[in-house]
Amino acid sequence: MKSISDYSTMVEEAIIEKDYASKTPESLYGPVAYGLQKGGKRIRPVLLLMAAEAFGKNPVECLDPAVGIEMFHNFTLLHDDVMDCSDMRRGRPTVHKKWDGNTAILSGDTMLTLAAQLMMNVDDSRLRCVLDVFNSMSVAVYEGQRLDMDFETRDEVSVEEYLDMIEKKTSALLGASARIGAIAAGASEKDCGLIYEYGVKLGLAFQIQDDYLDMFGDPATFGKPIGGDVLNGKKAFMLVSMLERGGSDADALREAMKMPPSELKVNTVRSIYEHAGMPELCSRTIGEYSRKSLKALRSTSLGEEARMPLERLVDKLIDRKK
């Protein structure tokens, strides 16, 4: 049985082989290659390859769609970093910081089309289906990003609205990764639906873990500055959960959020979260979504052995530190 790192090595090598750095104009493709460099977790392409192999396809035949899904993910990072004015990602300057905003926009656009091209390397009989999933997922991601931006200027956002937003912005991509792998392998429609559900629920657990790490992660391993969500006024999981719950902790949080951006603000908000038991709520919620993810996976026609890498991915993602 392949380990997670076996799959990610396959992805890494496939990306290197594409050699985007040598394409011209270098001013367009250099940032594409930089965005794709080692450092990301490669979760999405790994998920695609794992799902393909679980349903009986040689994952080597799915490397192009796998690189395509990683390309899509990195396209969204280039544009999100411009929109969020984020200067650091994975411990390195972002494209708009290293080059400029226009470069991040245009090389990002290029990555979206390159992703669509890579996604087309599937059998003719599965092409329309794969692209339908890819395009619908893309639109969901844009809608999620838009909602995330709109939430920043709203006073209150319900937990339900927050979950709808992250399902679109983050989870749809994990769901689509797994689904495209399954489609490429010729899985039944029912299995494709269940594996999508597995990916979506995994994605929800993943995003809540991300929100938790943004506040309680180790700055040395997280790759981004700690407290970014609080400093950028993002309506992340702990914030919306506390405000919806109400009470004196929520009042204190509301006051703290009025502070100007500073380390003090981040530390104040962190103390309030700790006092209100937010780390425990995160951990409980992550556990719930992980169980739902595994339940969907176990409802597929896959046998225990075929399922195993996908089960281990769930454990790995919720134990991560970055």
CB of 189 to a second copy, least distance (A): 18
Q: Pick left, alpha or beta for residue 60 (phi over 0 → left; psi -120 to 50 → alpha; otherwise beta).
A: alpha
State the residue for tokens 């509301």: 254
- CB neighbours (10 Å) of residue 307? 17
Residue from the set 102, 158, 188, 271 that interacts with a second copy by CB under 8 A: 102
Residue from the set 60, 139, 259, 264 that interacts with a second copy by CB under 8 A: 139
CB of 34 to a second copy, least distance (A): 15
- 147 to 166, contacts with a second copy by CB under 8 A? 147, 149-150
β strands within 71-208, DSSP E: 88-89, 92-93
Structure token digits, residue 150 = 């709109």
Residue from the set 142, 218, 251, 280 that interacts with a second copy by CB under 8 A: 142
Tell me which amino acid residue 241 is: S
- 17 to 56, contacts with a second copy by CB under 8 A? 25, 27-28
CB of 234 to a second copy, least distance (A): 14
CB nearer to a second copy: give 147 or 276: 147
CB nearer to a second copy: give 40 or 68: 68
Q: Contact between 88 and a second copy (CB under 8 A)?
A: no
Q: Contact between 110 and a second copy (CB under 8 A)?
A: yes
How many helices (H) and strands (E) in the chain? 17, 2
DSSP state of 94: -
CB nearer to a second copy: give 113 or 188: 113
DSSP state of 62: G
CB of 143 to a second copy, least distance (A): 6
CB of 222 to a second copy, least distance (A): 25
- 209 to 268, contacts with a second copy by CB under 8 A? none
CB of 69 to a second copy, least distance (A): 14
β strands within the chain, DSSP E: 88-89, 92-93
β strands within 91-211, DSSP E: 92-93
